[in-house]
Amino acid sequence: MESFFILKNISKPKKIIAARNGFSFYSFTLGPIWGIFMGLWTEGFLGILLVFLMVYLAPELSYFFILTSSFFWGIFGKDIYIQKLLKLDYIAEDIVISNSSQKAILIFSSKKR
């Protein structure tokens, strides 16, 4: 069971997103590429640029920079995604414990009635 933030769009109240909270294995393994796929364009390209720049400037520390970037994305990736949603006129409605995002939305919808 995982915790999900239930976010609702202010301008489109029927649009509800369940965003998972916590460490992400996918963002850990893919790093900034995961950010680009999730719509975090600036953060993703900046992450790629920083890794390439650090590897170019200090090639002997390249594994350290890549590993540090992976841990950063794994720990903070979902939080950065939730912050992006909040900037896009979403508001946090609830926190739901569930197995999947679909079940979290279903639980949230059944609570509201």
> Which pLDDT value is given to residue 81?
93
Total number of domains in the chain? 1
pLDDT at 67 over 80: yes
Buried b (16+ CB within 10 A) or exposed e, 85-100: beeeebeeebebebee
Q: Give strand pairing partners of 98.
A: 2
Give the pLDDT confidence of 34-57 residue by residue, as tens digits: 999 999 999 999 999 998 998 899
Domain range for 76: 2-112
> Which pLDDT value is given to residue 84?
93
pLDDT at 83 over 70: yes
> Which pLDDT value is given to residue 11?
87
Asked if 99 contacts 2 with a C-beta cutoff of 8 angstroms, the reply is: yes
pLDDT at 111 over 90: no
Question: Could you give the CA distance from residue 105 to residue 100 in angstroms, rounded to a whole number?
Answer: 9
Question: Could you give the CA distance from residue 23 to residue 16 in angstroms, rounded to a whole number?
Answer: 22
Question: What values do phi and psi take at 39, rounded to 5?
Answer: 90, 10
